Copies of this chain bind each other. A is one copy, B any other.
Amino acid sequence: LAHANLPDLVALDRVDYTGIDLVFCCLPHGTTQAVIAKLPMHVRVVDLSADFRLFDTATYAQWYGHAHQAEGLQKEAIYGLTELHRAQIKSARLVANPGCYPTCSLLPLIPLVKAGLIETKDIVIDAKSGVTGAGRSAKQANLFSEISDGFSAYGVGKHRHMPEIEQELSRVACSDIQVRFTPHLVPMNRGMLSTIYVSLKGCTINDIRQALEAAYAGESFVKLMPKGVAPATQQVRGTNNCFINVFEDRIPGKAVLVSVIDNLCKGASGQAVQNMNVMLGFGEELGLPKVAMFP
């Protein structure tokens, strides 16, 4: 960005908020609650941290290791999965932008849970992310030589995006849902793919297709792929898109959902801009690429 003519960075306590309608808050988890609590009331917020994603502050405390520091604000925060909560986002003051894994897993699952088409006790989410999901801090584990030409699982059985996924599925189902979720690290910069194993609840694969088709018919960024085509992260690189497909298993009554996003776009800043567009009444696609950079 060295050659772009950007305004200077200003320290947080010297910002003049006059004339500022909305801020994107991109601070580390745990530091955001205090910062947002001090913002003037006229400033609307899209927060990219995890600080306001869990509306049950006890769950927050359990997964993040400390008490919530802005419980009042939490009550008004809207979970910013745009396609799911668009109406509330429109008038929200504080939008908690979802994690990348939850975005990629919830988009295919929500319409099916909502319509009661799949068993809710039996969901396995096997998720794979590019390395940018780990951020830019200088840790040995993220060095090129550690990651290149290799593949690994991490956080098996206990990743922080689990409660976020479960919160939104449970709200839609009006009952507690627990999922099995394993994240993996792919030697690529950006991209995320979820392979989701579900059991059909007395319906066919075509019912699943129709439910997904119907749910996302009017959406700009979420698409059901043609029958049989396998989603690949390359197809959404650099875009705010989420591509989904569903495959029949050989075992009757079982199906596999596959979804892909760019973890830095629909999984982070892209969805943040999408939410801003909704909040400020802009066209929802404004500033958001839809054609993938391939290769």
Chain B residues lying within 8 Å of A249, measured Cβ to Cβ, are 157, 180
What residue of chain B has the Cβ atom nearest to residue A241's Cβ? Answer: B3
Q: Do residues B295 and A145 form an inter-chain contact, with CB atoms below 8 A?
A: yes
Assess A1 versus B182: contact at CB under 8 Å? Given A124-B124, A145-B189, A232-B151: no
Q: Quick one: which of A233-251 are within 8 Å of B by CB?
A: 233-235, 237-238, 241, 247-251
Complex partner residue of A184 from B128, B136, B182, CB under 8 angstroms: B128
A11 and B290 alpha carbons, distance in the complex (Å):
27
Q: Do residues B1 and A186 form an inter-chain contact, with CB atoms below 8 A?
A: no
What residues make up the interface of A, taking CB atoms closer than 8 Å to B?
Answer: 1-4, 124, 126, 128, 130-132, 136-140, 142-154, 156-158, 162, 178, 180, 182, 184, 186-191, 193, 195, 197, 223, 225-226, 230-235, 237-238, 241, 247-251, 254, 256, 258, 290-291, 293, 295
Given A152-B193, A154-B230, A156-B256, 12 other A-B contacts at CB below 8 A?
A2-B225, A2-B235, A3-B290, A124-B197, A144-B147, A149-B234, A150-B234, A151-B233, A152-B234, A157-B247, A182-B256, A238-B238
